[in-house]
Amino acid sequence: MEGDIVQMGAYVGAGLACTGMGGAAIGVGHVVGNYISGALRNPSAAAGQTATMFIGIAFAEALGIFSFLVALLLMFAV
């Protein structure tokens, strides 16, 4: 019985942790959207900033991956 409650808590926690990935999605969307709006205003400067955009995407995405990892840990490793 006690084990079942712990398991339920772990699964609920995993589900809640997955909401963090939505935040990462918003973040990646902001990075790319701002890059594109800037690139449309000044297309000549866009090519030089592609690498910066990818670094920004990587940082924003890493946090979503962390929340996904927390969810996986709760489901499989707790």
* 35 in Cβ contact with 53 (< 8 Å): yes
Q: Residue 37, interface with other proteins (CB under 8 A)?
A: no
Q: Residue 61, interface with other proteins (CB under 8 A)?
A: yes
* 24 in Cβ contact with 71 (< 8 Å): no
Count interface residues toward other proteins (CB under 8 A): 21
Q: Which of 6, 12, 25, 26 binds other proteins (CB under 8 A)?
A: 6
Q: Indicate left, alpha or beta for 66 from its phi (over 0: left) and psi (-120 to 50: alpha).
A: alpha
Question: Smallest distance, Å, CB 68 to other proteins?
Answer: 5
Q: Residue 3, interface with other proteins (CB under 8 A)?
A: yes
